[in-house]
Amino acid sequence: AFVPLRALKTRGNTPKYGLIFHSTFIGRAAAKNKGRISRYLANKCTIASRIDCFSGAVRWGGLGRAEQEVPTSVFGDKLREQVEERLAFYETGEPPRKNLDVMKEAVVEANEVVAEVKRKQEKKEKKKKKREKRRLEALAAAAEMENSVQEVEENNIEPKKKKKKKKEQEQEQEAATEPEENGLQEEALPKKKRKRAGEGTAVEKKKKKKAKEVEEEEEED
> Quick check: 69 and 52 in contact, CB under 8 A?
no
Q: What is the mean pLDDT of residues 106-133?
A: 88
Q: What is the per-residue pLDDT across 45-79, written as a single tens digit (0 to 9) for each?
A: 999 998 888 775 444 444 444 445 677 888 899 99
The pLDDT value given to residue 66:
41
Instruction: Count CA atoms within 13 Å of residue 163 on its CB side.
Output: 6
Sorted by where each begins, the domain ranges of the chain are 5-57+68-148
- Judge residue 45's burial from the number of C-beta atoms within 10 Å of its C-beta, 0-12 exposed, 13-18 middle, 19 or more buried: middle
The pLDDT value given to residue 78:
92
pLDDT band at 101 (very low <50, low <70, confident <90, very high): very high
The pLDDT value given to residue 82:
94
Q: What is the CATH number of domain 5-57+68-148?
A: 1.10.246
DSSP codes of every residue in 115-156: HHHHHHHHHHHHHHHHHHHHHHHHHHHHHHHHHHHHHHHHHH
> Looking at the predicted structure, is the pLDDT value of residue 198 above 50?
yes
> Quick check: 20 and 2 in contact, CB under 8 A?
no
The CA angle 153-155-160, to the nearest 5 degrees, is 100
